[in-house]
Amino acid sequence: MMKVLSVASECVPLVKTGGLADVAGALPGALARHGVEMRTLLPGYPAVMAEADGGRARDLGSLFGGPARLVEGRLGDTVLYALDAPHLYDRDGTIYAGPDGRDWPDNPQRFAALSMTAARLAAEGTDDWRPDVLHLHDWQAGLAPVYLSEMDATARVATLVTIHNVAFQGLAPASLMDVLRLPRTGFTPEGFEYWGQISALKAGLVYADAINTVSPTYASELLTQDFGMGLDGLLRSRQSKLCGILNGIDEEAWTPPYRNARGKAKHTRALRDEFGLPEREGPLCVVISRLTEQKGLDMLLDALPALLDGGGQLALLGSGDTRLESAYRDLAAAHPHVSVRIGYNEALSRRMLAGGDAILVPSRFEPCGLTQLYGLRYGTLPLVALTGGLADTVINASPAGLAAGAATGLQFYPVNADTLTQALVKLTTLWADRALWQKMMRNAMAHPVGWDVSARAYADLYASLSKTA
């Protein structure tokens, strides 16, 4: 059986700030059906230690300023390794930032510790287990291939780095080179140097045996200056080692409480009541998102009149850029058919998916996106920008898509406020044809959004990388 250690900074159900946590939580179970034994290594945040504490422990000595242990616990049916280092992880605030919202100044050390422990676990193993492959997620695990190389263990253990979002690169001052125990020979443009700084993500991309990202289209986009965030040249040089594998969702955990449009209707009424929206003939659209320009929420402000003038409504749940938060609050105060909740609440997000007619995802770039997959699963038709995983998962209501009876949502391109406006007009037009809309809803709910195909792709990729007989 193939043995894989997944190394991530977050993982459901223990700790989550974004889609990375969903993927890290879903992969072990999905891969078990394909002959892969995946174990997960996480930082020992309080929520993680509450799950793992009391399990078998191994002393790691001093690690970046304090004592550390590797504690073995359980996460569902799989083994969880927790890096117990209270001086690094037992803190108030979020996993990346303090109560003031600013990144922890020692984040380079905190996640170098995670990477170093991953490399050590791969090189030395435990009493009864040693991985064949290290699966490293984003910059927080990006230094692991460097440390593995320094331990002379690359001949036996393969490494795969998954880019969930290339915009986050884990930059650190060059003055931390010795503190982070990095080889000075690697601090070059061909290594992990990035404009005079250390880039943890670049380190992973240079030193890993293979690279993947979370959709085929995003893999292609990363090779361009527009999307590569300064790493496109490196990625082009490693293109033969780069592939895109779509994320999936846990279809059991995300099962709608209805089977058809008739069943959905009562949830739509309940959602209008919860958000204080009056009854209206047009579609109830929902947004569940971080409020940032990356997510296109500034464009949506400009385009919303097309939805509202067409009889539609908007219910929004999200937080982020304070200017966007204020703008949406002001819009809700001025318009009876817009209602806004600032913050995040997973239970509410599920009610919004159940009650919404359409979900708006106008991202300027989106490596994969999970929100549109939840929308498909719930028959809440996604309106998405034609980028990244949004392009790979939604079948557009184009003339060809409609003629073939295959459409599951709407796409717009180029990604700007004018084309988003046109897409919202089209959405209200499609909504008026109730038979067509319900056909698209059935298509969406039948569209495969689970992990089976992608888990097989990961299993095949691990097998191709394995260095053990």
Sign of CA dihedral 253, 254, 258, 264: positive
Q: Tokens at residue 124, please?
A: 């030395």
First-residue to last-residue Cα distance in the chain = 11
Asked whether residue 16 is marked as a ligand-binding residue, the answer is yes
Find out whether 21 and 10 touch, Cβ atoms under 8 Å: yes
Parallel, antiparallel or unpaired: strands 338-342 and 313-320: parallel
**Spatial separation of the C-alpha atoms in residues 164 and 220, rounded to whole Å:** 14
Q: Which residues pair with 83 in a beta bridge?
A: 43, 70
**Spatial separation of the C-alpha atoms in residues 439 and 93, rounded to whole Å:** 46
Q: What 3-state class would DSSP assign to 211? A: strand
Residue ranges in 240-338 assigned as alpha helix (H): 261-275, 297-309, 322-334
Residue 453 neighbours by CB under 8 Å, 6+ apart: 246, 248
**Spatial separation of the C-alpha atoms in residues 204 and 187, rounded to whole Å:** 13
Find out whether 320 and 291 touch, Cβ atoms under 8 Å: yes
**Spatial separation of the C-alpha atoms in residues 38 and 11, rounded to whole Å:** 14
Strands (E), 255-412: 284-291, 313-320, 338-342, 358-361, 381-385, 410-412
Find out whether 243 and 220 touch, Cβ atoms under 8 Å: no
User: Residue 208 carries which DSSP code?
Assistant: S
Rg (CA), the chain: 23
Find out whether 287 and 314 touch, Cβ atoms under 8 Å: yes
Parallel, antiparallel or unpaired: strands 67-75 and 313-320: unpaired
Q: Tokens at residue 190, please?
A: 């061909």
The annotated binding site is made up of: 16
Q: Which residues are annotated as a binding site for ADP-alpha-D-glucose?
A: 16
